[in-house]
Every structure is written in C-alpha cells, then in structure tokens.
C-alpha cells in the first residue's frame, strides 16, 4: 500500500509516498506528482523509512511526582489529569502568565492551531512561542516591515525564470537540497544565469556560484546597501516602480549615499569590484531573485538584514514577476503553517497582530470567548530567561528540544530545573530535554498522523497517516484538546468542552480556514477533499477559487499592490550594526554554526540511521589550517573551545571552507552524542529588537590544545537483540564521565555503534568491565590481548567470521580500518593476526574507504579519488561509479573534488 504524505524535515516540503503494509513502513519514494519535488528526495528524505522503527520511541505517558526520582509509566487519564491540575494550580497561585507553551514549526497546522487557541483563548496568556523564533522570525519581521505581510511572494518555479539569483546567508545545497537541484537544473538549462552567494564560508552552495562574496560575519547590511549605492550610481533603479508602488526611498537613498563599494569592502572584507559586479548583475538582469535563510535571520539585526536585501528587489521593481522577488527559505516543514495560525507570542490567527485591538476582537468572536489577552507573550529566549528567574513556573514543550537548540544552554538548564512542572510532548524517549521532564507524553510522528503543512512557497499539502502510532502514542492535536478540556473546568472555563470538542482533525482545519476569510492568506476555498483531488495548493485560495488556475497564485504582488494600509511597499533605513559579540584578544575567533547535509537538528531521527553518519561521523570544529597551526594544533587533535559562557571539547579539523579567524561547528551534536551540550553551550542569547530572534550564528571563542593521552574506542555491531541506535542510547549516559567522548553509528546494512573516548587519566578497570558487560564483550569467546607495559589492551568478539564487538584501549590508530571490517562484514583473518600482536597501526594491506560521499549508492572518498587520479572527469566518474545519480545531494561535493583534483594535477 502507498500513502501520500510529505517529508517531515525541511521547508522544501517534498511529497513522499510511504510504502507499507498497514503494520510496518517498508520504504519511501518521492511523490512524482508533488509540485515541490516531482519525485525527488534528498539523503534525509529517502531514508525516512529507516527512522520509522519503534525501538527508541516514547511509547507510554510517564510521570514523576518528585524531582530527581525516575518517572513511572501512567495511563493517559492520569497523565492528562495531573497536567491539568498542576497547570490550574500554578494559574491559581501566580496567574496565567506563569505558564507557557514552547512549541515547534514541525507540528502540523492543526496541532499548532489548538495549542495557540488553548493558551490565548482558554488560559488567557500569550505565552506561546516556538522554535520558529530561532529560525524564521527575522524574515517575518522583515516581510511585514517592507511588504506589509508575512508572505514570501515567490515560488520554486521562479528559479527557472531568474537571470540572477542572489543566495544570501543560506546553504541550500545542504539545507534545502531538492530546491537546490531545481537551481542546478535552471543553471543547466540557461547557463547565462548568474548565481551570487553571500556566505562567510565556501560552502557547496558557494562553490557552485559564479560569484562568491565571503563577507565577514555580520556585515551583510553594508553589502546590500553598497549594492543599492551602485544601482543608484549606474542608473539601474526602476524609478517608475519606486514612485508608483513604494514609500521611504528618499531616506534610504540618503542613507546609502556614503556606502560606497570601497567603504563596504572595508567592513565586509570582500573586494569592492565584486560588490560592483554583484550590483550590475542584479540590476542588469531582466529577472533577479534573492534567497535567504539563517545566515541573515540568526542575527541581532536579522530584521534589517532582511529589509536591506528586500530593498534591492523593490528598488529595481523586481518583484511580482516570474523569476523575481525576495524569497525567504523556510527552515522547518511547517514554520509557515505556524505563522499562518499565529502560533507565536506576538501574533494572532491568520496573520493578525496582537497589538491591534480590532484583530483581538475578531479572534475573540471567532473563538467565542470574551477577549484575548493584549499583553504580548514571552518569546523563546525571554521565556527561558523568565523561567530561570522563577517567573514562569510551568512549561509545556512540544516537538522541539530546547535543551539542545536554544542559545545560552546554561540558562536553559537553570530554567528547566527551576520550573515547578515541565511537560514534554515527544515522539522519542531520550532527547536532551527529556531528562528535565516531569511528565512525558508520547506523540505520534511522521507516517502516523494526519493534517496539513505549508512549505516555503506557501503551498499547503494534506498529509495522511499510513500507520497507527506505536504503543499509546497519540497525535499532537488530540493531546492538546484532551488537556484543554480537562483544564477548563479547573480554571472556571467549562466552555472548554465545546471549544476543544473536535472529533476529527479536519474540523480544526475548517475552523482555521474560516479564520482566514478576507485576510491576505485567505484559504476559505480549501478542504482536505479538494487537496486530495487537486493536489497541494498555494495560498491565497479563497472560496470559489479554481484549483486549475494555479498560475494566478504562484507569486504575489503582481499588481504592484502590497499588503500595507496604503498598498505601497516600504523601504526601511537599516541600522549599521555588526555582531553583538566581538572577537578580542581573549576570544579571538568568530564562531559560526549551522547544518550538515545528512543530519537534522538534535538528531532524534537522522541520528538513528547509521548511513547518515557516513558523510560526517564525529562532531568537530572546522578552522582554517593557519589558525590551527598558530595554536599549535594538528588537524584531528582535540581542542578545548571556550566562549564567555562555557567550554566544550571538540575534535579540530582543517577546512578549506572557513576563512582565517573563523570557526564552524554544526548545530546537531548534543548530549546524546557528545560529552557536552555542543555548540549552544558557547552561543549567546542576544536577540534582534524587532524579531527577538537570537544571534545563533555569531559568538567569540578561543581554542586551546588539550592533551588527553588515554584513548579508547568501543564498537558493537547491531545484532538480532539490539539495534545500533539502542546500543547508542545505552552508552549515552557514559559520555559525561570522560574528558572527551563521542558516539556515532556507522555502516549501512550492518550498522554498528562507535564510541570514541579520550581521557586525562587511565580509564579505571572497573569502568572497562562495566562497558564490556554493557556491550556483551565480557564472554569467554572474546579474543583479548593485553600489553600492560604499553598500556594497550584489545578485546574483540568475532561471530561467524564477522567482527561484531571491539574494545581498543591505549591506542586507537586502527579505528577506521576496524570500523570498515565490522560494518562491511570483511573477513577477519587479517584482524585475528593483528589483534594478537603488539602492533597498533592497521596492517599495510588494510585500507579504509574513507568518508562515504554518495550515500544512496555507497561511494566513498577513496573510490572517487582513485577515479580522479586515473584521469576521469565528472561525467566519466559518474558513469563509472554512479555516484550522485540518485538523489543528487552529493553532486556539488563531487564536482568540487573533481575541480580540486584537476587543479592539483
């Protein structure tokens, strides 16, 4: 059987077909009919079926009444009943603003709608905020300040019409891969199209560009202002459009008068000539379009980063036409849906504003309540700070992992410890936030729930359920409604029975649709039946709209009328700020953070799929080789990384992508895979004044070499009894015992868990025994070699001529070879000889394959290097090895390897 759904990862919103038998999901494929992807999926989407395993899921509600005690399994009635009592108690003692919901852009629109209604319509506070605050809120603020509404005006099909594409602070080759495939297609079809990438790093996206502006972090506003300066100087501004459809241009023109390319070049650290080229390409192209994401949004002036970029579209009249417009790429699959239902502390349903009394009255009428509260709620960073100060006393977290993803993690920890009552509504049982939860509620997840999502291009898809959820897990909307109905009578609001009496999820969608009547996102013409029959639709879609006439909705503002009171778009004069936190002598390096190609956020799902580690298999800090050398660090060494807020230990690697003075750490690695909280131990909570989005991309750090001479490597293959992900879960509590430790999975069909350890003192024998027992290495069958003089011990378990378990202490240089032996099921003859000899390095004949570059077809670095050395160009290499011929996510990297190999030759 096949069920239509969407991929639950990024905002591209690819359609997927889930192949299942009603009891188990067997595979997924891209939905050939879905207009976001036309059948394509990236590495993450195409491995979704591998995440649909029950082993590490949260299956039953769990509750504890006393802090510090373990939670016990309870039934749903007790779980919901006690949640309602605890919330009612806090509300009675401290008022409604002492409770809060912290939710997620990964919820479905219907889930989001009821969370928002429960807080603003029932509890009477606006304390509902989401991880979208860390993600899209600067883009929202920038759109509203300039175009008047939070509406990305473009569509993916615009890539095919653009003559110039300006990609700013985004790495779609990793973060929006299927959209990037469409950009590659566009470039192939029209090679004259110019791609400009603005990113401090030379990412895969940047290496595919015609022009890469490697700006210094936080200096974007100067760049876009200088581009506008050039557009004015070279008469590339569309004065007729500006006069007819905008206001505020004179002030901005005055502001950019002194921002010459030379002046900006000084600040941005890029050649003035490149700024001029970028402006000429933009201004001289019939159709030009910008794309942006977190490199601009996650900044203390993220809103003005956005408005400065949007000004380029407005000043040249390149908006509302094919191939034009400012297009903010949505990060999460349904951040758009969350914005539509107003699920943030300062918004109301259907793009209404909390600050507007008429909007509040409309929403109160819609919900049949006396009023909705007027005071804005606390936004993400503010919310956790307030909880750390004891002002928020009960918090309900759903579908997000704040103990890993928020900045200033120390404050977050304090907050979650100080709160009287923490609820976590999760699909998986051991996220970093789970340790703080007093009540855990098992949520249904991908493949198990029904509702709608809206992708980056305003396209709504009906997501279907393939299977019932495992254990006692329930869909999010239902959990919220049950809670609201239980809470109502306890806070004097018996009408909650009716307000949250939805019997089917579509009833929520229908209420949401009604709320949009007459608004910019009017979807009164949509229901599930129409979405099923006519396929996913872009908004607006008012009652009476024709599904066949999709072209009319592909882009907004075609008539030059904007969503402001006077119908004119506004130019905003930006502040010329750089990052809040500056580097200095003590913290001389600028820390940047972001995404890897094959991992998703806190790794609760992608981290369970062994092959998704093959691209990057350990947490690391990437630095320029000269910065490593200056600090006396060799690539591969462990370093202590410190900021003004905390320190962590990471492996340092030299990277050709990072400029001098900068460093990059992926956001994914947290306490489940590392002996520290990862990058957000280091980041600061400073945020943008308009969007309140924190500056996750910028912090000042230092690195110091750290000597941890006692090394250990543990590996265990998945066996019938325990999946590799479960083995990792069992080992995770051990991480914090060591000065450095990390966990990863490896392999494909034969998955294994890999734990790397480095310690400042000899590892106590009792720990070794415990770990051996945990991994089943404590049997008489295990081969063992001990050289106590050199402090080396090796222990291996071989079953049916396959290496299935290994502990290597004292010397770990053979690790990569041994991992390949284990996960590729290679013969163990050589291994036995090595194991029982004093050798520590792998035998000369044993060569590792290196990193797997192409995940779909399992092609590794060394295979590719050999082909390049043999003289193959990209096409010959692809023909021979087939790498990059399936999902295509690795194509940019292979091209880069070929280019590097050719220039080296």
Q: For ligand SF4, give the closer residue by CB, 176 or 301.
A: 176
Contacts of Mo ion in 323-362 (CB under 5 A): 331
- Which of Mo ion, ligand MGD, ligand SF4, none binds 14 (CB below 5-8 Å, type-dependent)? ligand SF4
CB 63 within 8 A of CB 424: no
Q: Pick between residue 314 and residue 335 the one whose CB is nearest to ligand SF4.
A: 335
Query: Applying CB under 6 A, does 293 fall inside the site for ligand MGD?
Result: yes
Is residue 76 packed enough to be buried (19+ CB in 10 Å), middle (13-18) or exposed (0-12)?
middle
3-state secondary structure of 714: strand
| Contact in structure between 822 and 814 (CB atoms under 8 Å) | no
Q: Which does 41 bind (CB under 5 to 8 A by kind): ligand MGD, ligand SF4, Mo ion, none?
A: ligand SF4
648 touches ligand SF4 (CB under 6 A): no
In the complex, least distance from residue 105 CB atom to Mo ion, rounded to whole angstroms:
7
Q: Which residue has the CB atom at the shortest distance from ligand SF4? A: 45
Site string for ligand SF4, 595-634 (x = CB under 6 A): ----------------------------------------
Alpha-carbon gap, residue 505 to 463, rounded angstroms: 11
Judged by CB, which is closer to ligand MGD: 168, or 728?
168
Dihedral angle sign, alpha carbons of residues 593, 594, 595, 601: positive
Between CA 30 and CA 41 the distance in angstroms is 5
Alpha-helical regions (H) of 132-248: 137-146, 172-175, 177-189, 204-207, 220-233, 239-245
> Do residues 555 and 459 lie in contact, with contact meaning Cβ atoms separated by under 8 Å?
no
Instruction: From residue 627, give the alpha-carbon distance in Å to each of 589, 616, 634, 637, 660.
Output: 9, 22, 10, 13, 6
Minimum gap (Å) between residue 44 Cβ and ligand SF4: 4
Residues with Cβ < 8 Å from 773, sequence gap 6 or more?
A: none
| Residue 248, Cβ density class (10 Å: 0-12 exposed, 13-18 middle, ≥19 buried) | middle
Q: Which residue has the tokens 């900068």?
A: 662
Give the contacts of 752 (CB within 8 A, at least 6 positions apart).
Answer: 610, 715, 716, 717, 718, 724, 745, 746, 819, 822, 823
Rounded to the nearest angstrom, the gap between the alpha carbon of residue 839 and the centroid of all alpha carbons in its chain is 43
Q: Which of residues 150-189 bind ligand SF4 (CB under 6 A)?
A: 176-178
Identify which of residues 13 and 842 has a Cβ nearer to ligand SF4 in the complex. 13
218 binds ligand MGD (CB under 6 A): yes
Q: Taking CB under 6 A as the criterion, which residues in 826-845 touch ligand SF4? A: none
Total count of residues recorded for the chain:
905
> Which residues ranging from 22 to 81 are in contact with ligand SF4 (CB under 6 A)?
37, 41-42, 44-45
With beta carbons less than 8 A apart as the criterion, state whether 613 and 755 touch.
no
Residues 407-466 that bind ligand MGD (CB under 6 A): 425-428, 431, 443, 445
Binder of ligand MGD out of 168, 259, 412, 638 (CB under 6 A): 168
Among 137, 294, 643, 676, binds ligand MGD (CB under 6 A): 294
Dihedral (CA of 183, 185, 188, 189) sign: negative
195 binds, among Mo ion, ligand SF4, ligand MGD, none (CB under 5 to 8 A by kind): none
Closer to ligand SF4 by CB, 41 or 706: give it: 41
| Shortest distance in whole angstroms from residue 115 CB to ligand MGD | 10
The tokens describing 125, both together, are: 């506070």
CB of 678 to ligand MGD, least distance (A): 8
Pick from 12, 288, 344, 684: which binds ligand SF4 (CB under 6 A)? 12
369 contacts: CB under 8 Å, gap ≥ 6: 121, 122, 495, 499
Of the candidates 106, 379, 461, 828, which one interacts with ligand MGD according to CB under 6 A?
Answer: 106
Helix (H, G, I), strand (E, B) or coil at 265: helix
Question: Which one of ligand SF4, ligand MGD, Mo ion, none is in contact with 293 (Cβ closer than 5 to 8 A by kind)?
Answer: ligand MGD
CA distance 385 to 348: 23
Q: Given the rule CB under 5 A, which residues bind Mo ion?
A: 135, 331
| Binding site residues, ligand SF4, CB under 6 A | 7, 9-10, 12-14, 37, 41-42, 44-45, 176-178
Task: Name the residues that contact ligand MGD, by CB under 6 A.
Answer: 10, 104, 106, 131, 134-135, 168-172, 174-175, 198-201, 203, 215, 217-218, 220, 293-296, 298, 331-332, 398-401, 404-405, 425-428, 431, 443, 445, 476, 592-595, 597, 599-602, 604, 667, 679-680, 683, 696-697
């Amino acid at each position: 059987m096949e069920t239509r759904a969407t991929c639950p990862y990024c905002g591209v919103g690819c359609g997927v077909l889930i192949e299942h038998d009603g009891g188990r999901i067997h595979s997924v494929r891209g939905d050939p009919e879905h207009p976001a992807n036309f059948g394509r999926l990236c590495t993450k989407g195409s491995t979704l079926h591998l995440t649909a395993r029950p082993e590490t899921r949260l299956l039953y509600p769990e509750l504890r009444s006393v802090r510090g005690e373990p939670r016990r399994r309870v039934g749903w009635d007790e779980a919901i009943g006690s949640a309602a009592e605890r919330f009612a108690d806090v509300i009675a003692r401290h008022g409604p603003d002492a409770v809060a919901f912290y939710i997620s852009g990964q919820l479905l629109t219907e889930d989001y709608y009821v969370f928002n209604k429960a807080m603003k319509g029932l509890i009477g506070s606006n304390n509902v905020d989401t991880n979208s605050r860390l993600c899209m809120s600067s883009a929202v603020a920038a759109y509203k300040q300039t175009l008047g509404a939070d509406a990305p005006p473009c569509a993916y099909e615009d890539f095919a019409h653009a003559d110039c594409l300006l990609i700013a602070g985004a790495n779609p080759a990793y973060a929006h891969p299927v959209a990037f495939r469409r950009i590659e297609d566009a470039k192939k079809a029209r090679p004259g199209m110019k791609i400009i990438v603005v990113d401090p790093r030379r990412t895969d996206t940047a290496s595919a560009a015609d022009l890469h502006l490697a700006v210094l972090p936080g200096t974007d506003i100067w760049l876009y202002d200088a581009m506008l300066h050039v557009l004015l100087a070279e008469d590339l501004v569309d004065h007729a459009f500006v006069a007819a459809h905008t206001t505020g241009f004179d002030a901005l023109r005055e502001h950019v008068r002194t921002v010459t390319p030379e002046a900006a070049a000084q600040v941005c650290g890029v050649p003035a000539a490149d700024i001029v080229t970028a402006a000429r390409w933009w201004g001289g192209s019939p159709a030009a379009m910008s794309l942006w994401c977190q490199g601009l949004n996650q900044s203390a002036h993220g809103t003005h980063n956005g408005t400065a970029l949007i000004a380029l579209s407005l000043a040249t009249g390149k908006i509302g036409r094919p191939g034009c417009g400012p297009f903010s790429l949505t990060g999460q699959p349904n951040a758009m849906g969350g914005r539509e239902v107003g699920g943030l502390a300062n918004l109301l349903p259907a793009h209404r504003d909390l600050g507007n009394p008429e909007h509040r009255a409309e929403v109160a009428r819609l919900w049949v309540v006396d009023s909705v509260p007027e005071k804005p709620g606390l936004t993400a960073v503010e919310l956790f700070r307030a909880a750390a100060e004891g002002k928020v006393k009960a918090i309900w977290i759903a579908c997000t992992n704040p103990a890993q993803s928020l900045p200033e993690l120390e404050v977050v920890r304090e907050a979650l410890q100080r709160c009287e009552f923490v609820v976590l509504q999760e699909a998986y049982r051991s996220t970093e936030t789970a340790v703080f939860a007093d009540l855990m509620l098992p949520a249904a997840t991908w493949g198990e729930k029904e509702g709608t999502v809206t992708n980056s291009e305003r396209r709504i898809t009906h997501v279907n359920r393939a299977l019932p959820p495992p254990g006692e897990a329930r869909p999010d909307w239902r959990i919220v409604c049950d809670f609201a109905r239980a809470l109502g009578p306890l806070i004097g609001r018996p009408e909650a029975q009716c307000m949250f009496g939805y019997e089917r999820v579509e009833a929520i969608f229908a209420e949401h649709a009604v709320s949009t009547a007459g608004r910019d996102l009017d979807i009164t013409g949509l229901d599930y039946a129409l979405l099923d029959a006519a396929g996913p639709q872009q908004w607006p879609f008012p009652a009476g709209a024709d599904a066949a006439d999709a072209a009319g909705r592909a882009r907004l503002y075609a008539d030059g009328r904007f969503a402001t009171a006077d119908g004119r778009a506004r130019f905003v004069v930006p502040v010329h700020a750089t990052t809040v936190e500056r580097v200095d002598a003590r913290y001389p390096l600028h820390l940047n953070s972001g995404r890897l190609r094959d991992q998703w956020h806190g790794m609760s799902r992608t981290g369970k799929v062994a092959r998704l580690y093959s691209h990057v298999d350990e947490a690391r800090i990437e630095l320029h080789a000269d910065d490593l050398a200056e600090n006396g660090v060799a690539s591969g060494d462990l370093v202590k990384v410190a900021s003004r807020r905390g320190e962590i230990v990471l492996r340092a690697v030299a990277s050709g992508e990072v400029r001098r003075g900068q460093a990059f750490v992926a956001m994914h690695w947290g306490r489940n895979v590392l002996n520290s909280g990862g990058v957000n131990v280091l980041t600061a909570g400073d945020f943008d004044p308009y969007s309140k989005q924190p500056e996750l991309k910028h912090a000042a750090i230092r690195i110091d070499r750290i000597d941890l001479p006692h090394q250990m490597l543990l590996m265990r293959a998945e066996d019938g009894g325990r999946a590799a992900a479960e083995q990792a879960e069992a080992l995770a509590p051990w991480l914090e015992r060591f000065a450095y430790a990390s966990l990863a999975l490896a392999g494909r069909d034969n998955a294994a868990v890999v734990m790397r350890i480095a310690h400042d003192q000899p590892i106590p024998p009792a720990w070794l025994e415990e770990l051996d027992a945990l991994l089943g290495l404590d049997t008489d069958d295990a081969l063992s070699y001990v050289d106590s003089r050199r402090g080396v011990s090796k222990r291996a378990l071989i079953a049916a001529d396959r290496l299935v378990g290994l502990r290597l202490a004292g010397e770990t240089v053979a690790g990569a070879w041994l991992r390949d032996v284990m996960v590729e099921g290679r013969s163990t003859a050589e291994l036995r000889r090595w194991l029982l000899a004093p050798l520590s390095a792998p035998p000369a004949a044993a060569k590792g394959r290196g990193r797997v570059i192409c995940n779909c077809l399992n092609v590794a670095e060394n295979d590719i290097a050999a082909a390049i050395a043999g003289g193959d160009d990209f096409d010959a290499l692809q023909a021979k090895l087939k790498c990059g011929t399936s999902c295509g996510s690795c194509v940019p990297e292979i091209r880069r390897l070929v280019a590097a190999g050719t220039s080296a030759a």
